[in-house]
Structure 1
């Protein structure tokens, strides 16, 4: 997927797919609210990194080191907000 601004709803769909493919959750990602604690739902730190790598490849973004922390992957809403920030930053024209 090309880097572009995507709606929050679309972002959540992509994150749910990432959770299904790489999250290793014992429950379906579709059954979780966007505010559900993903670690309480069974997300391991290893799987969190796998989800992040999958999202980077799918969306053509790179999570900076500052986002490589547990709270960045705490909920699907948090992940969606971070992705939105990354895509907006990439869409801004850079000063020459």
Structure 2
């Protein structure tokens, strides 16, 4: 999943440097914009067939690759449990 997230960051969040970033690196400090995070969220929802609830629509939820992966995994697990 990390590879997919990195590819999506490059494609949808205009962050080509994502491939070389540490999983805990701050994506906003690396150049991701708020608009890019929204584009990324929409791509994640489409790719993983999940929906981000309102309480996760914040800067922290998209701040690092590790947090994004953890959040998507939780959303997928919640969907499968339902």
Q: Same fold (TM over 0.5)?
A: yes
Q: How many residues align?
A: 82
In the alignment, which residue of structure 2 is the partner of 1:19?
A: 9
Q: Which has the higher helix share?
A: 2
* The one of 37, 53, 56 aligned to 2:26: 37
In 1, Cα distance between equivalents of 2:4 and 2:53: 19
Q: 1:80 aligned to 2:72? A: no
Deviation readout 1:12-55 (Å, 9 max, x if unpaired): 11110110111112x42111011000000000001000001011
In the alignment, which residue of structure 2 is the partner of 1:4?
A: none
| C-alpha RMSD of the superposition | 1.0
The gaps in structure 2 that reach 5 residues or longer are none
Asked which structure has the greater RCO (Cα within 8 Å, sep 6+), the reply is: 1
TM-score (norm 2): 0.94
Deviation readout 1:32-81 (Å, 9 max, x if unpaired): 01100000000000100000101111111111111100000000000000
